Amino acid sequence: MPKLQPQKIDLEQTYPCPCPRRRGNLMPIALTDAFGCDRCSLLFELEEDGYKILQVGGLDHHRHTWQWIGKWQPIRDDQQQQPYPFLETALIYGMSCLFFALIMLWALNLKSVLIVPLVILLFTIIGLLVWRIVLLRHRDF
């Protein structure tokens, strides 16, 4: 299967928005090298080579880049290919420590006042991790 070559992005055309949540259209913004989505209000800056767009702003700190090959193809840099960024890694280690602390309290049969807050904190961290992973997966499709 031949690999599709990236095409130069025309500032006079409209393109579908690469955002997976809403199916909007990217409209060129007058007097700039940028596009704006008519549904999700995201802004995209055209890179200097004219083959890639860069998302400006958004919910997360990653700077997403796409190239046009008849559809938007995400371009990943080395930092985005890490399985888990620093925050997620720290949360996973913290969650593991909380889990083992709960097991030790249960194994020692201690009626501690800390068990309920630790359980609440553990499930809160699990919820944040799941939310973050789901958010990142939906952005890439």
Q: Last residue of some domain: 31, 49, 75?
A: 75
Rounded Cα gap, residues 27 and 16, in angstroms: 9
CA-closest candidate to residue 68, choices 116, 132, 18: 18
- The answer to whether residue 3 sits within a structural domain is no
Q: Last residue of some domain: 75, 104, 120?
A: 75
Q: Which domain holds residue 47?
A: 15-75
**Same-domain check for residues 112 and 134:** yes
- The answer to whether residue 2 sits within a structural domain is no
Residue 74 region by backbone torsions, left for phi larger than 0, else alpha for psi between -120 and 50, else beta: beta
**Same-domain check for residues 26 and 46:** yes
**Same-domain check for residues 71 and 90:** no
Residues 52-66: tens digit of each pLDDT: 999 887 766 667 889
- Is the full-model pTM beyond 0.85? no
- The answer to whether residue 20 sits within a structural domain is yes
Beta-strand ranges (E) seen in the chain are: 15-16, 25-28, 34-37, 43-46, 52-56, 65-68, 72-75
Average predicted confidence (pLDDT) for the chain: 80
**Same-domain check for residues 63 and 94:** no
Contact (Cβ atoms closer than 8 angstroms) between residue 42 and residue 55:
yes
Question: Which whole-number Å values give the CA distances from 79 to 54, 61, 64, 75, 86, in the listed order?
Answer: 15, 12, 11, 12, 11
Contact (Cβ atoms closer than 8 angstroms) between residue 138 and residue 20:
yes
- The answer to whether residue 80 sits within a structural domain is no
**Same-domain check for residues 23 and 67:** yes
**Same-domain check for residues 110 and 135:** yes
Contact (Cβ atoms closer than 8 angstroms) between residue 99 and residue 106:
no
Contact (Cβ atoms closer than 8 angstroms) between residue 44 and residue 36:
yes
Residues 89-117: tens digit of each pLDDT: 787 788 888 888 888 877 787 777 777 78
Question: φ, ψ for residue 37 (rounded to 5)?
Answer: -85, 140
Number of domains in the chain: 2
**Same-domain check for residues 96 and 128:** yes
Cα 30 → chain centroid: 28
Residue 9 burial by CB count (10 A; 0-12/13-18/19+): exposed, middle or buried? buried
Confidence of residue 82 (pLDDT cuts 50, 70, 90): low
